[in-house]
A = this chain, B = another copy of it.
């Protein structure tokens, strides 16, 4: 199998035309040696981080597949720390979709004039451009359409699917007394049939989760959630 891309936290191999193997690494994003899922640089290596992310991802993707939610997930090999997925074309040159249940992080930093930190948001969806150099700027539905990145219809499908998935993840976490504040997803189009799919991963590194008002770091989250 051929290595086709080395990401910050995963290596990507081509298996055949329709299948990709993702090898989860122990490198995590962060700055100054502190794990920060929102950071754009690999900050440190944590033994077991890759396997922890893969376990969470496998749990959620198998659940979503069983609910007929389209994801790229085919199978996982926890011991090999790898996941087989459908080949998908990312949106644009790479977009991220955020779903917010609480006004925290960059949302609060931008709009503090009009909200309290931590106030409830009703599944607020926004899209950001994966662009380390420009700090992953937010882009509106209108701008995505104007720049021919996503049509209005594609955007609506994306936002609806995002809310559906995130509500499922939120409900699963709630079963363990964990509260989802916000979460970041990636999507792509299945190269075999052009269908919109959830891609990448769903793990502690993609979400802000609290328990009784205390933030739960990504690796602790996996232990809390899967125990």
Contact = CB atoms under 8 A, between A and B. Distances in A.
Q: How many copies does the complex hold?
A: 2
Interface of A: 92-93, 107, 109-115, 121-122, 124-126, 129, 131, 134, 137-143, 146-147, 149
23 contacts: A92-B114, A93-B113, A93-B114, A107-B143, A109-B134, A110-B134, A111-B129, A113-B129, A113-B134, A114-B147, A114-B149, A115-B147, A122-B146, A124-B142, A124-B143, A124-B146, A125-B142, A126-B140, A126-B142, A126-B143, A138-B140, A141-B141, A141-B142
Contacts of A129: 110-111, 113-114
Given A140-B126, A141-B140, A134 B146 contact: no
Contact of A110 (B115, B122, B139): B139
Contact of A137 (B111, B122, B139, B149): B111
A149 to B, nearest CB: 6
A114 B131 CA distance: 11
